[in-house]
Amino acid sequence: MDIKYTLNRAKVEPVSSAPLFIQCPVCESSIRWNQEVQNKFETGAVGHRCTGCKSYIGTVVCSHCDASYLMDDNEWCSITGKEPFVCSRCDEPLVPKRERCISLATKVVESKVFQAFTPKVSEIKFVSCAKEKVAAELISVLSRYHQTTYERRSLAKEQLESLNNIDISISMKVFNTPELDGVVDKNAEHGVDKSQDVIYVLVISLFSALESALQEVNLVCDLKKGEREVSYKLLGKIPDEYGLLNAICKSVLNDGRFIYLNDLRNLLIHRRITLLASDVKYDLPNVSPFSPYFVKGECINYLPDRPLVEPGKESYKDKKEVKSTLRELCDYINDVIDNIYLTMFEKKI
């Protein structure tokens, strides 16, 4: 009977319909190779046992110097575990030599640790009370909402800082021509208003933080509403037994700052801020009338009084300066969330 192939753990050649035989590395007996044994090798087992000398048939090739070693099951588990052998030829850790790449797929579910992310008394108190009073099986879900609330608040803070560093200028040049024409500079740095994107992310993050905090309220107060049912409207549906929490949430619905934020959010989602009004102060120097001179203005930019009016009908009488107005809205929403945390576990006696 002919020996067709000599087995090497690193590579077993595929065969046709012809029988495949391997040679035992110990006693050199010829042994029929079958698909069952092949499957064992491919899944990491040593493989087959010689019917003659009872040795395990399988070799491991050193990936550094190509030295071959006969392995049994215990030794195989050792070299693939925490205590690999050292090759006697090159003194390197003995690992299987790879002839092809192996791709593994697995399902991983991220777990959140329920914790306070800031040193604020309100958040620390909330987390401490929740761990004591909320059912253990709900803590993992609560931790996801709580981390989302924190991340949205942090994102809003970052955008506010970015906005404060942006020079929101008017995209217009004024020349000392006889008509003092205003000419839009298409190549100017401020031809595209980068502040629009920052304002968008800031407003959406603020509103998202509030609604994420209301997801926490829904869970802690056992309001039994599905995730998709929870929105800012939950502010008006807190049970009366939660006295202070009920009062705080209802007051938000009627607060002008919240109403403005909600309208601004709707505007940004469905269009964009149609127009920022700018008061521009121009200092005109004494220049020669024979050559044009660029005059740069100092701009103060304002948000519209009512964001949801039709385009072209905006008014700016309330002087809602962009940066200070958004800072006020950010502070207000953060205060609301802190007060929710402080009062969520307080009930009427």
Query: Do residues 40 and 48 touch, judged by C-beta distance below 8 A?
Result: yes
User: CA nearest 9: which of 18, 20, 22?
Assistant: 22
Check residue 223 and give its pLDDT: 93
User: CA nearest 140: which of 163, 165, 169, 110?
Assistant: 110
Q: What does residue 20 show for φ and ψ, rounded to 5 degrees?
A: -115, 130
Span 56-93, pLDDT tens digits = 666 566 666 777 665 554 555 555 555 556 777 777 76
Span 222-276, pLDDT tens digits = 999 999 999 999 999 999 999 999 999 999 999 999 999 999 999 888 877 656 7
Q: How many CA atoms lie within 13 A of 12 on its CB side?
A: 25
Q: What angle do CA 105, 107, 110 make, to 5 degrees?
A: 135
Question: What is the 8-class DSSP label of residue 117?
Answer: -
Check residue 184 and give its pLDDT: 44
For the chain, the 3-state helix, strand and coil shares in percent, each to the nearest 5, are 40, 10, 45
* Chain centre distance of CA 166: 25
Determine the average pLDDT of the residues in 173-185. Answer: 46
| Pairing of the two strands 20-23 and 297-303 | unpaired
Q: What does residue 280 show for φ and ψ, rounded to 5 degrees?
A: -120, 130
Whole-model pTM over 0.85:
no
Q: Could you tell me the pLDDT band of residue 1, with boundaries at 50, 70 and 90?
A: very low
Rounded to a whole number of angstroms, the distance between the first and last alpha carbons of the chain is 93
Check residue 191 and give its pLDDT: 44
Q: Could you give the percent of the chain with pLDDT greater than 90? A: 40
| Pairing of the two strands 68-70 and 173-174 | unpaired
Q: Could you tell me the pLDDT band of residue 35, with boundaries at 50, 70 and 90?
A: low
Q: Which residues contact 116 (CB under 8 A, 6 or more apart)?
A: 123, 124, 126, 127
For tokens 């299987």, what's the residue? Answer: 96
For tokens 């940004």, what's the residue? Answer: 268
Check residue 146 and give its pLDDT: 96
Taking the C-alpha atoms of residue 277 and residue 318, their distance in angstroms, rounded to an integer, is: 11
Strands of the chain, DSSP E: 20-23, 30-33, 48-49, 56-57, 59-61, 68-70, 173-174, 182-183, 277-282, 297-303, 320-321
* In the chain, where the domains are located: 1-105, 121-343
Sign of CA dihedral 206, 207, 212, 214: positive
Q: Could you tell me the pLDDT band of residue 52, with boundaries at 50, 70 and 90?
A: confident
Q: What does residue 242 show for φ and ψ, rounded to 5 degrees?
A: -95, 80
Question: What is the 8-class DSSP label of residue 88?
Answer: T
